[in-house]
Amino acid sequence: MSFIAQFIRGAAATLASVAAVGAVHAEGPLVLAKNGSFFVGGKMSEIDGRAVMVGHMYVEYMIPARKTHPYPIIFVHGGLRTGTNFTGTLDGGEGWAQYFVRQGYSVYVVDQVGRGRSPIVEKAYGPARMGDARGVQKRYAQEEKFKLWPQAHLHAPWPGGGEMDSPWVMALSASQAVEIENFHTQQELNRDALIALVDKIGPSIILGHSQAGAFLWPVADARPQAIKAILAIEPNGPPVRAVDFIGAPDWFKYGDVALSYGIADVPLTYSPPVKGASELTFIQQEKAEGEGLVRCFEQAAPARQLTNLRDIPTLVLTSEASYHAPYDHCTVNYLRQAGAKPTFIRLADLGIKGDSHVLMLEKNSKAIAAVIAKWLASAPLGKQAAK
């Protein structure tokens, strides 16, 4: 039996007890050895005659009183969000950060550079942009009504009403934060700040959701011995070209190049090496791999290898009803073609049905966290080949 088959079988067997475990955890105190915050990375810059700190990242940490795992988990949120996505649910309950503390992990939760408690400095970072709360309704809360992608009608576990005046939509909309408009700039700044964080705290597991997926690969590429596992939770994608969702019957509109290095828009280490992204050649599948899926882009053969990512245990996790369901397999395909060995888990294969893209905030968020925890328990952390 393959590793992934064994994992799925074992994970499915544990899901029945997750609710009871979560209830016990919710009733007891969260016992910490240490809790605090700091800023990492950045530099002093001269702006309008003032000395201004730029490029820095806010980090909140929780160290459990009973730490049973050697490597901490760094949580990196997605677009228009902050670290609050991981420190609480929409009804005020505990988030994934506390869940993993209860599992014996130290956790570090960041606010991306230029986001939340990492102040945005437009004269250094360029223009900022605001989100549209209507996107909350269309993409997360009531996607089954708008049906912009093929799997949207499967949505179920949202915790409350999906109308704009619903307390749940209001709560998620309230958590939206102004962000740096230029995604390339975001990747450069967050890559550098996250590398500084890893250098400060030591070997770590890094978890990125959505937009932050594009930060995971450059950080791991720069510190392959320090990143002990990559948890790519519906990571930014698909590779190379963006996809817009336009509803039936065509569903997908393929856009311009968004990730010039395949899975990131900042340089990655390829073998044979490239001097710039223009040396990479991409082709699109003639036919999608299944109904309701996009046609992926991949490298033209022979594919260059992402040698620094090859030995890092990597999980790509996708929910059933999310707008990532049509294309996260493309990220997995790209990584495998480039020599990496990601585990791909579709939650629906484990009987976890109907989640949207903000899966850490839905009613079954603890069950999903348990899947991640079980994968970590079985992954060969810290066994990358010495270089």
What positions carry a catalytic annotation?
210
Name residue, tokens 């990730």. Answer: 259
3-state secondary structure of 41: strand
CA 300 to CA 5: how far, in whole Å?
30
Other CB atoms within a 10 A radius of the CB of residue 381 amount to 17
CA 21 to CA 36: how far, in whole Å?
27
Q: Could you tell me which of 92, 97, 115 has the C-alpha nearest to residue 168? A: 92
251 contacts 245 by C-beta, under 8 angstroms? yes
- β-strand 314-318 against 227-235: which pairing, if any? parallel
Q: Which two tokens stand for residue 164?
A: 């704009």
Q: Could you tell me which of 61, 97, 93 has the C-alpha nearest to residue 77? A: 97
**CB under 8 Å to 13, separation ≥6 — which residues?**
none
